[in-house]
Structure 1
Amino acid sequence: MTVIEKKTFPDNKFDLYFLAYAGQRSASKDNHWTDREGIIELTHNYGSENDDSVKYANGNKEPGKGFGHTCISVDNIQAACKRISDAGYRFQKKLEDGRMHHIAFALDPDDYWVEIISQKNVEETKDVTDTDPACYRMNHTMIRVKDKDASIKFYEDAMGMKLMRTNENKDAGFTLYFLAYGPHPGEASANGVNPGASREGFLELTWNHGTEKEEGKVYHDGNAEPQGFGHICVSVDDLDEACKRFESKGVQWKKRLTEGRMKNVAFVLDPDGYWIEVIQNENFKAPPGKY
């Protein structure tokens, strides 16, 4: 990935780094950072690199279970995993581990999980030794949800997303729901497992069967202690009008546009309390004096 935007906040002692696949073979090419579907935002709090007591919850174990992983799709998965391993990075699950030999999970320096999936049939790439990161995609972000009906309704009705695909795993007791903006990717699957693997910007909701019957909050939003995952983000065509629409939908706010010092961002809460940042897509802003 490439750092395509950096924002510094020295008074608040943190910086933001926005990374994406940015080459000419990437999904968004030279788009403005607010006009992309596949971005990872890293928040660095000054001094944390020198403090051994700072450890962030990766979302996959208690306390702090909620956020699951980000996911990249790659051209030749066996070669891509070898490239990551050869660079000295660790894996939560290698391709050959377990029953599912079509996915792997790498670990970043803070132990966040990064799923790796293939854009091609994995049998056809097993003997391929080259991989081109320019073809990679920031495919999806996964969060766990307590009540799948409430969450799907929220993301479809309030956030305007579409349910693209459902993957039920009865034996394992969970179901995956993939939502996105834009056209449906179709039912055809290049690799036999992951339709839409060549796209970016999916939101994966993981529903563990039966959690909807549990009392109270089931999952951690990542912003209370122990901290880790912060938020997902959507960019909109008209920030003011979008927030009015959210208001009409009866959303719960973490921060309205009019609150605080930053009047150019808002935060909505989903049914599990995950934060959703709302920003202006600069591609939809008219140049000064045009209208």
Structure 2
Amino acid sequence: MATASVNSILLSSEDPAALARWYGEVFEAPVSDDAGPYPVVDLDGFFIMFDRRDDVSGPNRDGARTILNVEPDDPAAVAERIDALGGEWVSPLENRDGHLFATAKDPDGNWIQLVRLSDEAEVEMGQPTTPFPGFAVRDIDETAEFYSTVLGMRVMRNSMGILMIRIDRRTTAIAYPKPDHEPAAFTILNIPVTDIDTAVADLAAKGVTFLRYDGFPQEENGVMKNNGPSIAWFTDPSGNVISVISREG
């Protein structure tokens, strides 16, 4: 087993702040200017840091040497934002046997490859090699619809008909049918969010009803605040309890 992992990359630039803003706009990702000496873009737990170095100037003239692979939920939307910002394409977005690929240059000439593999390839390649969550549901189809349409997660099916729910790029949960399913008496999934009131409003607009618990100081929208991280609870179609929880304390 590997004893190290990769969680960030450092891009040097004559204008690190501008380059960070470009990545933030292209990938609709938060840009932090208070993370020490570097602006940082958070791509689902992988961090792109930006720095100014005396020995780096001008564009990267050998972008093919190191290519940043990014797996967006919607490559076409990302490509449109790159076009809108005047981006340059090495290879425009194309479908290769069910997989989507594109390679673009950022404003400094660094190469970025957009990748979205087919569900079949993701299932084949994504067999868990580390601990992963799993839970029972009463109906696979309604579960797939809820987690994909309401929660916006990527949902795939393996050869046994079991759902593989991509929580984020690092975590895939499985959901399996159980005819006599009884919902768990605890929260099966906590989803961190940046703005909990906005997240709750968005889910409510999609028909989600938030739970209320006796003795909990919940606000009108169902959010409990000032008692640790802000949190609100709801259920999936099988009655399993899920929460959205603020990243802030």
Q: Which has the higher contact order (CA 8 A, sep 6+)?
A: 1
TM-score where L is the length of structure 1: 0.36
Larger radius of gyration: 2
TM-score where L is the length of structure 2: 0.42
